[in-house]
A and B are shown apart, each in its own frame.
Chain A
Amino acid sequence: MSSLVPSFDWQQVFLQPWSDAPAFSCWIVLMGFLATAACGLVGNYLLLRRMALVGDAISHSILPGLIAAFLLFRTSNTWTMFFGAFAAGLVTVALISFIQRHSRIKPDAAICIAFTTLFALGVVMLSQLEGRGSFHLDAECVLYGEIAIIPLEIPVTLGGFTLGPPSVIRMGIVLLGIVAAIAFFYKELLITSFDPGLARSMGMRTGLWHYGLMSVLALVIVSSFEAVGAILAVAMLIVPPMFAAQLSDRLPARLGLTVLHAALSAIIGYHLSVWLSCSAAGAMVVAGAALFALVWGGTLLRQRLQRGTATPPSPDNFPEPSR
């Protein structure tokens, strides 16, 4: 057991990664931050619409998308893969709503049926391809990503100026796009999430906004997939908004806290992975979950303390339980 958890050396864990291989550390932390922030921002809206697990479904169904794209176009070029995974995400959403519309299966079961079937299809195709040795997609990479190889990618150069690994650049662009979209469509996203009835009576197409959000969701999952894998992407969708919701009940503040959480969990997670020499993406998720647990424990403690003191909590007369 002692060899499992190495002894904690302050210098080795916190200073060495930055002094020995600054670029390597920098790109991993940056990628972790960008992916978590982009997923978390979208995740906020998912949580508000009670659709957290649709993210789970889409992230799983990306696998058959990647392979189908490869089989169709016979290249593993980034954009083809991207397109295949994106299409698979939309197929999942459509499949879920098909099952729901045409049978009495409840939404949760429909989600489960749709994504597990697609994922199984993906694994079968993968093992067939691997048997013929024509395609290499590590099963482990599918599940928890390979953030450690990102600094080794051939960096993108623009006008003689080296920018960085293409995955990081792509993720950065996606994050910027999401921030811009939230800023521009803030009120539409807000009202279609809060009160779809009012939105419809004002002439907004709620169905269109729903599919728009689903497309963006597919986009963030696909672009962070490479770094963090299918299942850890779910954590990045759900955990940061939950952390933010614990701390604030205003949407703009929550969005800000989501980004903060992304930064903290990327840095803490990276150092955790250095210390324990484990998967960096997994450690970032663990760090993020630990941050949530910390805040959660804090609120529980505060409630306990407030209940202990004689004065009732400040929120006023509360005649009925909120549902």
Chain B
Amino acid sequence: MNALSLHRPHRLLPLLLLVLCCVFPSLAEAARISELTDTGMLTRAVRFFTFQDPSLRYALAGSMLLGVCCGLMGAFLVVRKLALMGDALSHAVLPGVALGYLWNLTKDPLAIFIGATLAGLLGAATVQLIRSTTRHREDAALGFVLASFFGVGICLFTMIQNLPGGNKSGLDQMMFGQAAALGRGDVILLACVTFLAVIAVLLFYKEYLLTSFDPGFARSIRLPVPFFHYSLMLLLAFAIVASLQAVGVVLVSAMLVIPASAAYLLTDRFARMLLLSALFGLCTGAIGAFFSFVGRSLPTGPFMVLAAAVVFALALFFGPRYGILPRWWRQRSRSARIQRENTLKAIYHVLEKDDFRREAVTFKELAAHRRETLEEARQQIARVADVELVTVQGDVIAFTPDGWQRACEIVRNHRLWELYLTHAARIAPDHVHEDAEMIEHVLGEDTVRKLERRLNYARRDPHGKLIPGLEDIRQGPLGPAIPPGGPTVPPTA
């Protein structure tokens, strides 16, 4: 897109390398799963944080690596609206897992990896084929691949169970994942896949970005779009297959989609989204491993997914820009501001009725003008007085200089807009008031200048009332300045 954002992803590199460096030394002398003794929760937590357990080191490293690699791939899925592709592929690899096991009837990570990757690619190709040769839509194609491949996988699995001999113990864990069962081979595989994903993203960042955002344009500048699509699918299949052991078939798609979606809610830049998504993946992977370890032989996948879901929920509710609560809060403060401005406007109107012969109004007048009770008027004024736009002395309300200026602006906005609608847009004068009631609070100074120019600096609104100009706003209601001590003139009855 623009040259600026292209070199941004290189900031990813140091961070990811750092992670890899932290992870590898810890693996160096780690041994295969050791016997876990029965101890209390707290002891286990302590053991977690001191990394005494070699199996824990594998589990933790594996979970974090898979978080990073799924997070990176997931970001592409989310922006390409292919979230369910991850779901479909993760189910579709099942027959490949079974066939990889059948290769030599042991749980050989490499054989399973190759078989599952092939099955995943076959699934992706089937989706593409169904879409291009039938009238079925993408959702149907994905569902078909997901369910029918899974069916084949289930048949193979039940057939394997009838086989004599062989070590099938690890296969059940493919469903829900068991990070504690990660071996050295699994972790190395995960590290390789993560490394590959990071390198691919760094090298081809701008190509992947462009083919995701606008494939048509990418094709027009001669980028090999299918190559980038399928290379992404291949990386995705790698990521899914490598993560199966730790998260399980059903929940891999969650680790792809949830951290990336949370990142999507927090930023508008794709490079930053990749980074955040990988970071969220990393954290949730670690949290999942922690709970799985502390809770003893609990499946890891669900805990990772729940951790990711918590992150997502936080982003959904508290994300500064798009979060539900910040938006609600902004909405609330805006309506409070509109209420205050309406009160100021009402004071202005009351003063205007008397041709600005005085500079203060009473609660009674204000209440009468707005057709509300005295109590309501007092509440409204209290809110405005809180932000020092008016001063109240006994029964009398007067503008502060700021308040006067704001009131003038609001009234000016209202009347300019009415004039604009009737003059330029030819809307009947009796229709414009309601619209202006809303617009007056949102017109910026820029727009106001444009409006004034467009309307030849008109001084009268469609109802014949004066539009306060810049000069009026700078001066007080009664000439050059408001007396500093506030209002002194009592209203004449």
Which interface class (under 10, 10 to 19, 20 to 34, 35 or more) fits A? Answer: 35 or more
**Closest Cβ of chain B: how far from A13's Cβ, in Å?**
15
Residues in chain B near residue A140, CB distance under 8 A: 172, 175
Cα distance, A281 to B153, chains bound together (Å): 12
**Is B348's CB within 8 Å of the partner chain A?**
no
Given contacts A4-B163, A119-B251, is CB(A112)–CB(B147) below 8 Å? no
Please tell me which stretch of B193-201, B298-306, B482-490 contacts chain A, meaning at least 4 of its Cβ atoms lie within 8 angstroms of it.
B298-306
User: For window 80-130 of chain A, which residues contact chain B by CB distance below 8 Å?
Assistant: 99, 102-106, 108-109, 111-113, 116-117, 119-121, 123-124, 127
Whether A278 lies near B265 (C-beta < 8 A) is no
Q: What size tier do the contact residues of chain B reach?
A: 35 or more
Once the chains bind, are B148 and A116 in contact (CB under 8 Å)? Answer: no
Nearest-neighbour CB distance to chain B for A278, whole angstroms, equals 4
B143, A246: Cβ atoms closer than 8 Å: no
Chain B contacts for A1, CB-based, 8 A: 102
Q: Which parts of A42-64 form the interface with B (CB within 8 Å)?
A: 47, 50-53, 55-56, 60
> Which stretch of B16-24, B254-262, B272-280, B422-430 is in the interface?
B254-262
B84 touches A112 (CB 8 A): yes
- The reply to whether B151 and A120 contact each other, CB–CB distance below 8 Å, is no
Q: Which residues of A contact B152 (CB under 8 A)?
A: 282, 286, 289
Residues of B within 8 A of A219 (CB): none
Q: Binary interface profile of A, 280-320, with partner B (CB < 8 Å = 1, else 0)? A: 01111110110010001001100000000000000000000
The B interface, classified by DSSP as helix, strand, loop or mixed, is helix
**Chain A 7-33 near chain B by CB (<8 Å), digits 1 or 0:** 000000000000000000000000000
In the complex, the answer to whether B303 meets A124 with C-beta atoms within 8 Å is: yes
Answer yes or no: A276 CB below 8 A from chain B CBs.
Answer: yes
Partner of B258, one of A117, A144, A279: A117
Q: Is A189 part of the contact surface with B, judged by Cβ < 8 Å?
A: no
A82 to B175, CA, bound (A): 24
Chain A CB within 8 A of B264 CB: yes
Identify which of A143, A279, A284 contacts B175 (C-beta below 8 A). Answer: A143
Interface residues of B (CB under 8 A from A): 78, 81-84, 86-87, 91, 102, 130, 133-137, 139-140, 142-144, 146-148, 150-160, 162-164, 172, 175-176, 250-251, 253-254, 257-258, 260-261, 264-265, 298-299, 301-303, 305-306, 309, 312, 316, 322, 324
**Mind listing 22 A-B residue pairs with CB under 8 Å?**
A1-B102, A3-B163, A4-B159, A60-B250, A103-B322, A104-B264, A113-B254, A113-B257, A116-B253, A116-B257, A120-B302, A120-B309, A123-B176, A124-B299, A139-B176, A234-B146, A239-B148, A245-B135, A282-B151, A282-B158, A284-B151, A288-B151
Given contacts A242-B144, A279-B155, A286-B148, 6 further A-B contacts (CB under 8 A): A106-B78, A111-B84, A112-B86, A127-B298, A140-B175, A238-B140
